[in-house]
Amino acid sequence: MSEITYKPGKEPHPRETRRIFRNIDRKGYDPSIKCFIKDGGYETLKKAMEMEPAAVTEEVKKSGLRGRGGAGFPTGVKWTFIPKGNTKPVYVVCNCDESEPGTFKDRFVVHQDPHQLIEGMIIACYAVQAHYGVIYMREEFPEAAKIMQKALKEAEEAGFLGENILGKGYDLKIILHRGAGAYICGEETGLINSIEGVRPYQRIKPPFFPAAIGLYGCPTIVNNVESLCQVRQVLMRGGEAYAAEGAQRSPGTRIIGVSGDVKRPGYYEIISGSMTFGELLYDVCGGPKRGRKFKAIIPGGASAKVMRCDEVLKGRNSDGSVRAMSIFDVPLDLDSIAQHGSMSGSGGIIVMDDSRSMPKMLNNLNRFYAWESCGQCSPCREGNPWMLKLSTRICEGKGSPEDVDLLKSVADNICGRTVCAFGEACSWPTQAFVTKFREEFLALTKPINALKPHSEESKEARKFLTRED
């Protein structure tokens, strides 16, 4: 492989370990199959197809690879959920919807290194013996769609897709399917319904996994872009070697997208657990902007619960004793973040400094979730607009102290009562923001506002009961 140089100003940080993003912003590299093959592309596919399909799955299980889409479910284990003795067609779907606010990594793979995704997807299809694959891409990626369509055509012309791939008697067709642009399609069953041409409502569970009953009633494996690219890395390096690097229960590299109030926002690929939040934000991202202090962090996309930077957390030493720590001491891996009440999610870290109003930040998120609710179930359909109404009322200085408690109560009554994880996810920001920054919400309220009407209807009803000031 040739020596790698990157475009000026796009060089990786010395603490990065570029694997999935190896060719991103690489000087002289383009998304063509010619460039990919010259750099060793599709050699891992050849290696995989010399193995039995079950052996490929076993390597992925052995690697400990966990999904990079948000839930962190073990990829190899998911592949084994296809019913034994299945006689129906098996499908593999790549989730390239990437609709979580604060997440911006998958699109770079598609734009600059699409054949990496295609190779990883072919390996996954071969492992589960799927003969039909779908790349589901959100409508807001028009240029990415053109690039991917061209890459799929190149792969077919080169004999990596189509009939009798590499002379192994294995047939596979992969198509690109464009979504209409809905956050809800990031959920795998909503995505599957969208492919089928029906309203993308989430399916009732059980079955809990599309691997049992998915696309067209057939077993379906859904993995996101980064996960499928990691599958290629597993086969390239070997399952045991992959498992030996990084955090024990979430090995391999992880692409982190950092946005917000830091000097050097952007995407960074690091070995899971190799650095803390503090090392990432101060050493890699350059720290806060001049004259500012870090105030809060959303560690895994907008739906992850916010964490205060001045919060005292409890850590555990190797001998079992407890120590005080801050968020800056928390390692960047799935389990460490989960232990402290939030989640790594899709890898999108949103940073807020002390210039930010937390009620206004929450109100912005609530506006997004109120718009994106699919409306299937009442808690989400009704609860999201009410959270928006209440947070807006507070931000406009029209709320009472009771409205702060009411806002939290609405979120609490959404959580755990929805058809899909979306409803819960949209309630988590409100729960966390109000709990952790309650003083800021209360500061914007006035007790007298409890006596004032909030609509023309209530104003008319109360005009004989209260005195207008």
CATH number at residue 292: 3.10.20.600
Does residue 259 share a domain with residue 218? no
Q: Is 161 left (phi over 0), alpha (psi -120 to 50) or beta?
A: beta
Residue 391: CATH number of its domain: 1.20.1440.230
Output the pLDDT for position 346: 85
Q: Are residues 347 and 364 in the same domain?
A: no
Confidence of residue 54 (pLDDT cuts 50, 70, 90): very high
The boundaries of the domain holding residue 442 are 358-451
Q: Give the pLDDT mean for 433-449.
A: 97
Residue 42 tokens, joined: 């599709």
CB 133 within 8 A of CB 94: yes
Q: Compute the average pLDDT of residues 240-246.
A: 96
User: Is residue 436 in a domain?
Assistant: yes
What pLDDT band is residue 2 in, cutting at 50, 70 and 90? Answer: low
Q: What is the mean pLDDT of the chain?
A: 93
Instruction: Indicate the residue among 301, 324, 353 that finishes a domain.
Output: 353
Q: Which residue in 73, 119, 124, 117 sits closest to 96, CA to CA?
A: 117
Confidence class for position 454, pLDDT limits 50, 70, 90 = confident
Please tell me whether residues 209 and 69 are part of one structural domain. Answer: yes
Residue 4 lies in a domain: no
Tokens of 427: 């309630």
Pairing of strands 348-353, 173-178: unpaired
In a domain, 466, yes or no: no
What local confidence, expressed as pLDDT, does residue 459 receive? Answer: 63
CA distance 294 to 297: 8
Same domain membership, residue 440 and residue 309 = no
Asked if 380 and 388 touch (Cβ cutoff 8 Å), the reply is: no
- Res. 1: pLDDT tops 50: no
pLDDT in tens, 400-429: 999 999 999 999 999 989 998 888 899 999
Q: Whole-angstrom Cα distance, residue 172 to residue 159?
A: 10
Q: Taking residues 220-246, report their average pLDDT.
A: 97
In terms of domains, do 346 and 370 share one? no
pLDDT tens track for 346-402: 899 999 999 999 999 999 999 999 999 999 999 999 999 999 999 999 999 999 999
pLDDT > 70: what percent of the chain?
96
pLDDT at residue 190 in the model: 93
Burial of residue 315, with CB atoms counted within 10 A of its CB: 0-12 exposed, 13-18 middle, 19 or more buried? middle
What would the mean pLDDT of 149-177 be, rounded to a whole number? Answer: 97
Q: Is 223 exposed, middle or buried (0-12, 13-18, 19+ CB in 10 A)?
A: buried
pLDDT of residue 85: 93
The answer to whether the CB of 441 falls within 8 A of the CB of 404 is: yes
Quick one: average pLDDT of 62-79? 92
DSSP result, 365-381: HHHHHHHH----SHHHH
Position with higher pLDDT, 29 vs 316: 29
What does the alpha-carbon distance between residue 97 and residue 179 come to, in Å, rounded to a whole number?
8
Query: Angle, nearest 10°, between helix axes 53-63 and 114-128?
Result: 120
Please tell me the distance from the alpha carbon of residue 64 to that of residue 73, in angstroms, as a whole number.
Answer: 10
The answer to whether residues 150 and 56 belong to one domain is yes
Of residues 57 and 466, more confidence is placed in: 57
Task: Give yes or no: residues 444 and 302 share one domain.
Answer: no
CATH number at residue 196: 3.40.50.11540
Token pair 């592949």 is found at: 79
Q: Which amino acid is at 33?
A: I
Say how far apart CA 27 and CA 49 lie, in whole Å: 31
* Position 12 in a domain: no
292, part of any domain: yes
Same domain? 169 vs 293: no
pLDDT tier, 460 (very low <50, low <70, confident <90, very high otherwise): low
User: For residues 456 and 338, what is the distance between their CA atoms, to the nearest angstrom?
Assistant: 45
Phi-psi region of 349 (alpha: psi -120 to 50; beta: other; left: phi over 0): beta
3-class secondary structure, 140: coil
| CB atoms inside a 10 Å sphere around CB 157 | 11
Best CA proximity match to 79, nearest among 58, 96, 98: 58
Residue 3 belongs to some domain of the structure: no
**What is the tens place of the pLDDT at every residue in 138-148?**
999 999 999 99
Residue 145, pLDDT score = 97
Q: Is residue 323 part of a domain?
A: yes
Is beta strand 348-353 parallel, antiparallel or unpaired with respect to 220-224? unpaired
265 vs 363: CA distance, rounded Å: 23
Domain boundary among 314, 336, 353: 353
Domain boundary among 244, 265, 291: 244
- Which ranges constitute the DSSP H helices of 160-244? 188-196, 225-237, 239-243
Same-domain status, 288 and 235: no
State yes or no: pLDDT of 245 exceeds 60: yes
Same domain, 119 and 193: yes
Alpha carbon of 107 to those of 58, 95, 202, 238, 426: distances in Å?
29, 11, 24, 27, 24
- Judge whether residue 467 has pLDDT over 50: yes
Mean pLDDT of 161-170: 97
**Cβ 466 vs Cβ 451: under 8 Å:** yes
Among residues 306, 348, 317, the alpha carbon closest in space to that of 104 is found at: 348
pLDDT digits (tens, 9 = 90+) for 209-220: 999 999 999 999
> pTM (2 decimals)?
0.93
Residues 285, 166: one domain? no
pLDDT score recorded for residue 121: 98
DSSP secondary structure, 5-74, as one string: -B-TT-PPPTT---STTTTTTBTT--SSHHHHHHTTTTHHHHHHTTS-HHHHHHHHHHHT-B-SSSS--B
263 with 333, same domain? Answer: yes
How confident is the model at residue 70, as a pLDDT?
77
Count up the domains in the chain and report the number. 3
- The answer to whether position 295 is within a domain reads yes
